[in-house]
Amino acid sequence: MKTFALSNKAFNTPSEHKPSLDVSLEKLRRYKEADNNLQEACIRLGIQAPKLVASSN
Amino acid sequence: MDGGVGVAVEAANEELQRTIVELCSEVSVETVEPLVAAFEKAEEGTLIELHIKHNGGGDVTQLFALITAIVHTKAKVEITFGRYIMSAAATLWLWFLLWPVPHVTSLMPLKHGVLMYHRPRKQCFGNSDYYCFAESFKDGDPVKESLLQKIKIFDELFESLLEKLGWSAVTDANLVIEDVGYTHWLQHLKEAYYDNKDCVIPVFPV
């Protein structure tokens, strides 16, 4: 596994993006749409919908 | 398991009553459901600190349920973390750091911490030691298409992270000096991420 150290300078610089609800709402809408498509496809195929994990193991 | 909706603390010098809730150990139905309920019932004029503590991540569906609850809550929210945050837990903290919303802020840790980020994956039924990524499915498979749509959001968050770290200022990702090739660390990071490897990132306090 490759490991990279971040400088805190980069993390601590103020965000150039103005806080906006729209960005998050658009991402959440797309996630829901993808999830609906997945459920429908799995029902059509008669299979269990695969669950994604983001986990350290 | 520890964690869940925690202690209510009111600091004398704060305008808003601060309620501290914790997301410990993992992202699962058990750890997320009480938090979603807390965010849904929170009233305007309150402040919730969501402290993510030594969290190894978990279920992507629960991650999105929690992000949705935070985006829609009436409370002000501060997201903090301690020790390490991995995978789904790291995604939560990075989401509001890189895509801030007016009532939610991700704060830097007070002590040194570690963040691990990667593309979500699918565990093998019956043996969670094995997993695959969306690319493992056949082209044209509708399941693959839907998984790729979901994963694109994780890729976009990673691209925002690269930008935050100065990717656009990198003019040469590769250098050759005295016949030896060198690659910029952000290029290494990018290659590791898109090769479905875990990216481990130490985070230092302000």
ipTM of model: 0.88
Q: Over its length of 206 residues, how does chain B's per-residue pLDDT go in tens digits? A: 444 555 445 555 567 788 999 999 999 999 999 999 999 999 999 999 999 999 999 999 999 999 999 999 999 999 999 999 999 999 999 999 999 999 999 998 888 899 999 999 998 888 888 999 999 999 988 889 999 999 999 999 999 999 988 899 999 999 999 999 999 999 999 999 999 999 998 888 76
Domain-embedded: residue A2: no
Q: Which residues of B touch A11 (CB under 8 A)?
A: 97, 108, 164, 203-204
Q: Is A51 part of a structural domain of the chain?
A: no
Residues from chain A contacting residue B64 (CB–CB below 8 Å): 28, 31
Chain B residues within 8 A of A44 when measuring between CB atoms = 142
| A14 belongs to a structural domain | no
Per-position DSSP letters for B105-157, written without gaps between them: EEPPPSS-EEEEE---EEEETTEEEEEE-GGGSPTT-HHHHHHHHHHHHHHHH
- Tracing tokens 């056949």 back to the chain, one arrives at B138
Query: Where does residue B178 fall: left (phi above 0), alpha (psi -120 to 50 degrees), or beta otherwise?
Result: left
Residue A36 lies in a domain: yes
Are A21 and B93 in contact, with CB atoms under 8 Å apart?
A: no
Flag whether A30 is in a domain.
yes
Q: Within a domain: residue A42?
A: yes
CA B137 to chain centre: 25
Residue-wise pLDDT tens digits, A7-53: 556 666 666 678 899 999 999 999 999 999 999 999 999 998 988 99
Give me the domains of chain B, ranges plus CATH numbers: 8-203 (3.90.226.10)
What is the rounded distance in angstroms from the CA atom of residue B37 to the CA atom of residue B45?
Answer: 17
Tell me, what's the pLDDT at A10?
Answer: 65
In a domain, A37, yes or no: yes
The pLDDT tens digits of the residues spanning B35-78 come to 999 999 999 999 999 999 999 999 999 999 999 999 999 999 99
Number of domains within chain A:
1
Residue to test with chain A: of B24, B146, B185, B199, most A Cβ within 10 A: B146
Q: Do A44 and B142 touch (CB under 8 A)?
A: yes
- Residues of chain B in contact with residue A19, where contact means CB-CB under 8 angstroms, are 100-102
Q: What is the Rg, in whole angstroms, of the alpha carbon atoms belonging to chain B?
A: 19
Residue A1 lies in a domain: no
Give me the domain span that covers residue A38. 22-46
| A38/B143 Cβ within 8 A | yes
Residue A18, pLDDT score: 84
